[in-house]
Amino acid sequence: MSKENPFLLTPGPLTTSMATKQAMLNDWGSWDADFNRITAEVGDYLLRCANAVHTHVFIPMQGSGTFSVEAALGTLIAPKQKTLVLCNGAYGQRMATILKTMGRPYVVLDKGDFEAPQVDEVHELLLADPEISAVAMVHCETSSGILNEIDDIASLCRALGKLFILDSMSAFGAIDIDVINTPFTALISSANKCFEGVPGFGFVLAHKQHLQHCKGNSPSLSLDLYEQYQYMGKTGQWRFTPPTHSVVAFHKALEQHREEGGVAGRFERYLSNRIRLVQGMRALGFKTLLEDRWLSPIITTFLSPDDERFDFQQFYQLVKQQGFIIYPGKLTQCESFRIGNIGQLYSEQIDAVLVAVQNACSQMGVVLVKTEEGVNQ
């Protein structure tokens, strides 16, 4: 890798393998049986990852991940149903914005930038407002990197008969999720996150029986999961032009996911990347936004050093010149930046990015002060 072809330490698009890139060198007909078999195999694999083969169906959707979130909220929740959106960052906020744009009733529990929603407070809100019949939340909130606890909230929703819609965009594929422990109505993710495909489509694992009742819910023609599923069931094809190259690349990426040991294998690699990165950054004098217990293996937010010579734009360029793309912060309250661990990254790249960060700081004349704690709190 080089300045022209840097490693992406970002939460998708991310660095893909050569085999995944090479899978895109052929052209495919969208009606062709071989291509349709590939779509079906992708769906089988993803359902197996969540242990949801018997209860859920796979529905892919063209576009970036947000298109699938919008399709899921629009199709799986009826127009008059009220949704409770649990927010602790930008992606939770985005679900609220989608509901607002569609004119759907919703309420928000907003925990700010770095606190996780708790099952007790969700329970109280559901008891206080019986009109709420769906709960939507994010699994790994990529804006801070926090890994939310979802199992108890999902089980509560099932016990109370509420829908549970999970944006697991940046977690599914690397964080274990089993429909028995986390009874979700729908799980949403996309091709270019932990499964390490290229961008082009997202997908929803939707509860089969529930989906049967969702005809006519969607306010959108193209983002209608019910119609996409019906059409696929009848023809084996996507309803409108599929991102063929992205789908075959994803199929190739899933082969590598399986070879790495599936979800558990990928988790191991991302976690060891994260541990190496955070240890190294703390040794340099950086602090993480979150305490260790909330850190995900996906992406970590670091606070910008308390030195006026630190300038993120300059820092970004200096790190990029050494072959790494990092990510700006997405916090409302403090200066920060993020470094991701997902994609084709191994200990070698983590060590090299630590050197790049150190070089960039000394080029800016930033003095890093090491402290015992290494955490914001």
Ligand X SMILES: *Cc1c(COP(=O)(O)O)cnc(C)c1O
Please identify, using beta-carbon distances, which residue of 197 and 305 lies nearer to ligand X.
197
Q: How far is the CB of 13 from ligand X (least distance, A)?
A: 9
- State in angstroms the smallest separation of the CB of 229 from ligand X: 21
- Residues 198 and 12: beta-carbon distance below 8 Å: no
Q: How far is the CB of 150 from ligand X (least distance, A)?
A: 12
The minimum distance between CB 143 and ligand X, in angstroms, equals 8
What are 146's strand-pairing partners? 141, 295
Positions in the binding site for ligand X (CB under 6 A):
11-12, 64-66, 69, 91, 138, 142, 167, 169-170, 190
Q: Which helix (H) or strand (E) holds 20?
A: helix 18-22
Give the nearest distance from C-beta 160 to ligand X in angstroms. 25
Comparison of 77 and 187: residue with beta carbon closer to ligand X = 187
71 and 201 in contact (C-beta within 8 Å)?
Answer: no
CA 147 to each of CA 33, 109, 235, 266: distance values in angstroms, whole numbers, following the listed order: 40, 17, 38, 16
C-beta of 92: minimal distance to ligand X in Å? 8
**For ligand X, which is the closer residue by CB, 91 or 337?**
91
Closer residue to ligand X (CB): 172 or 310: 172
137 and 150 in contact (C-beta within 8 Å)? yes
Nearer to ligand X, 170 or 273 (CB): 170
Q: What residue is closest to ligand X based on CB?
A: 65
Of the pair 170, 301, the CB lying nearest ligand X is at 170
Cα 69 to its chain centre, rounded Å, is 11
Q: Where are the alpha helices (DSSP H) in the chain?
A: 18-22, 33-49, 65-76, 90-101, 119-128, 151-160, 208-211, 225-235, 244-259, 262-284, 312-321, 347-364
Q: DSSP secondary-structure letter at 227?
A: H
